[in-house]
């Protein structure tokens, strides 16, 4: 009998860890970090987990026998990774290296870049993982289960939804997706493929049941251009390293306003890797409208030196001399270094990421506002979500028309159940580790 058990993503945003069992075959769909659960006990860098036993005892990672690196025999045949966001891949670091990880080709590139740029610790050691890559429409066979990945639009490239055929029925897993980014047509492709046959079980993300904002990446680009053009001084901005849609929006707005987009070393390193995927339309690092900000420090990593050797490198003094020429990607960790820049009057700060959703993020926001107050920078929030909006989600669920629908990756599964209009007999609000039969 085919069944799924959810060990994460239940009444929370992210942390997806889904065990699929069919006959003698066992798959994990994602194995992400539950950021909300972890933040109850830990706050990096001062209070970080040191022992795997702590993660198990606190329920941060699940007690599933035979999946972890300290166990000799793996009890799972494969992992299918939908995309490279921490709340979906985070605890791959803990898993048995004998379990292959199937993922999109772009996700493999991102995971390689993450491994190279992040110092290895108990939670962040991704070395030794065996990756097997796919593209949209590939057919993957693992035991009794056939998997068809189909690309979707999300706030990171290389994201996929999954259509899974088991001996007991058909299952669809949306992963994370949206219908308002530059690649909205990809999500339409997925919905079409998922709707082409009858589905027994649908696992769908429902992140934005509260606070959805109707916008698009094109609107973000227009707003950025308006703010940047009117700023007589330096423009500073914060956006996700791996959000290539947002990087393009900042690049276009900077170039169109006659400015240079200045990236951090880490952002520049990811750009060197992802710009090779021509379908993403990213600029190369040697583009005349791209430069790299290099903070002063005693020692640079080898990848930082490599990026520096292939880019136009700017120091704090370079930025200070010609502030109105630049849009500088700068997060909270860069604020102290801006003392050497001394932003001029009329300089602004653009926050282009999600609003805080936990206590630690609230504290970081207060720290950021403290720095902005010190420098005299007003804060603009220009952003659009990486997740599908409620009305588009209802249309997706209606199109797929599964016999049983399970809302995950949401803090409001009951709200979704009512909004979907499917009725209580067709919507299953999940519980952690409680098996759900596919048919």
Pair (103, 171) in one structural domain: yes
CATH number at residue 407: 3.60.15.10
Tally of structural domains, the chain: 2
d(CA 176, CA 190) in angstroms, rounded, equals 12
Residue range(s) defining the domain that contains residue 168: 3-211+386-437
The DSSP line for 416-431 is HHHHH-S-TTTB----
Q: What pLDDT, in 10s, does the model give residues 383-417?
A: 999 999 999 999 999 999 999 999 999 999 999 99
Phi, psi (deg, nearest 5) at residue 373: -65, -40
> Do 254 and 261 meet the contact criterion of CB atoms below 8 Å apart?
yes
In DSSP terms, 204 is beta-bridged to 407
Please give the model's pTM, rounded to 2 decimal places: 0.95
Pair (204, 230) in one structural domain: no
Pair (184, 67) in one structural domain: yes
Strand 436-437 versus strand 3-6 pairing type: antiparallel
Pair (259, 115) in one structural domain: no
Determine how many CB atoms are found less than 10 A away from the CB of residue 140: 17
Domain termination residue (choose one: 381, 396, 426): 381
Pair (19, 49) in one structural domain: yes
Question: What pLDDT is attached to residue 358?
Answer: 66
Domain termination residue (choose one: 358, 381, 404): 381
Per residue of the chain (439 residues), give pLDDT as tens: 799 999 999 999 999 999 999 999 999 999 999 998 998 999 887 888 999 999 999 999 999 999 999 999 999 999 999 999 999 999 999 999 999 999 999 999 999 999 999 888 899 999 999 999 999 999 999 999 999 999 999 999 999 999 999 999 999 999 999 999 999 999 999 999 999 999 999 999 999 999 888 999 999 999 999 999 999 999 999 999 999 999 999 999 999 999 999 999 999 999 999 999 999 999 999 999 999 999 888 889 999 999 999 999 999 999 999 999 999 999 998 899 899 899 999 999 999 988 666 677 788 899 999 999 999 999 999 999 999 999 999 999 999 999 999 999 999 999 999 999 998 889 999 999 999 999 9
> Do 388 and 178 meet the contact criterion of CB atoms below 8 Å apart?
yes
> Do 238 and 353 meet the contact criterion of CB atoms below 8 Å apart?
yes
**Could you say which DSSP state residue 277 is in?**
S
- Per the rule left: phi > 0, alpha: psi between -120 and 50, beta: everything else, 397 is alpha
Token output for 355: 């609003």
Token output for 211: 């606070």
> Do 247 and 271 meet the contact criterion of CB atoms below 8 Å apart?
yes
Question: What pLDDT is attached to residue 211?
Answer: 85
- The closest of 205, 246, 220, 217 to 388, measured between CA atoms, is 205
> Do 266 and 119 meet the contact criterion of CB atoms below 8 Å apart?
no
Pair (82, 129) in one structural domain: yes
Question: What pLDDT is attached to residue 399?
Answer: 98
d(CA 243, CA 305) in angstroms, rounded, equals 23
Question: What pLDDT is attached to residue 363?
Answer: 83
Determine how many CB atoms are found less than 10 A away from the CB of residue 137: 11
Residue with tokens 């659009």: 384
In DSSP terms, 151 is beta-bridged to 160
Token output for 177: 């997706």
Strand 78-80's sheet: what is its strand order?
131-134, 101-104, 78-80, 25-31, 17-22, 3-6, 436-437
- Listed in order, strand segments (DSSP E) in 230-282 are 235-238, 260-263
Pair (413, 312) in one structural domain: no
Question: What pLDDT is attached to residue 385?
Answer: 95
Strand 348-351 versus strand 235-238 pairing type: parallel
Residue with tokens 């860098």: 45
Pair (245, 197) in one structural domain: no
């Amino acid at each position: 009998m085919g069944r799924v058990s959810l060990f994460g993503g239940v009444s929370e945003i992210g942390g997806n860890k889904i065990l699929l069992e069919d006959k003698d075959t066992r798959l994990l769909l994602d194995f992400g970090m539950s950021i909300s659960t972890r933040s109850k006990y830990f706050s990096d860098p001062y209070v970080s987990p040191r022992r795997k036993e702590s993660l198990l005892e606190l329920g941060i990672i699940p007690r599933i026998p035979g999946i972890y690196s300290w166990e000799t025999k793996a009890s799972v045949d494969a992992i299918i990774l939908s995309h490279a966001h921490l709340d979906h891949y985070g605890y791959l670091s803990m898993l048995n290296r004998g379990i292959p990880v199937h993922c999109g080709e772009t996700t493999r590139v991102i995971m390689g870049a993450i491994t190279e740029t992040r110092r290895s610790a108990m939670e962040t050691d991704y070395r030794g993982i065996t990756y097997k890559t796919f593209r949209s429409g590939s057919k993957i066979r693992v035991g009794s289960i056939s998997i068809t990945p189909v690309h979707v639009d999300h706030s990171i490239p290389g994201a996929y939804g999954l259509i899974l055929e088991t001996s007991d029925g058909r299952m669809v897993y949306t992963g994370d997706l949206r219908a308002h980014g530059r690649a909205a047509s990809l999500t339409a492709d997925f919905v079409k493929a998922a709707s082409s046959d009858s589905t027994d079980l649908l696992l769908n993300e429902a992140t934005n049941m509260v606070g959805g904002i109707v916008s698009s990446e094109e609107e973000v680009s227009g707003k950025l251009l308006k703010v940047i053009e009117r700023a007589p001084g330096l423009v500073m901005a914060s956006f996700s390293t791996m959000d290539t849609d947002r990087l393009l929006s900042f690049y276009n707005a900077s170039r169109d306003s006659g400015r240079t987009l200045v990236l951090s070393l880490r952002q520049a390193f990811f750009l060197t890797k992802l710009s090779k995927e021509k379908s993403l339309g990213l600029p190369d690092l040697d583009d005349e409208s791209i430069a790299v900000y290099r903070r002063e420090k005693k020692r640079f990593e080898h990848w930082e030196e490599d990026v520096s050797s292939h880019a136009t490198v700017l120091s704090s003094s370079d930025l200070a001399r010609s502030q109105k020429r630049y849009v500088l990607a700068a997060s909270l960790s860069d604020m102290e270094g801006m003392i050497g820049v001394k932003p001029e009057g009329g300089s602004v700060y653009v926050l282009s990421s999600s609003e805080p959703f936990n206590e630690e993020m609230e504290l970081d926001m207060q720290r950021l506002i403290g720095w902005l107050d010190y420098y005299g920078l007003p804060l603009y929030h220009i952003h659009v979500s990486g997740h599908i909006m409620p009305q588009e989600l209802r249309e997706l669920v209606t199109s797929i028309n599964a016999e049983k629908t399970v809302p995950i990756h949401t803090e409001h599964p009951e709200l979704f159940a009512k909004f979907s209009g499917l009725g209580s007999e067709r919507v299953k609000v999940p519980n952690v580790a409680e098996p759900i039969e596919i048919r």
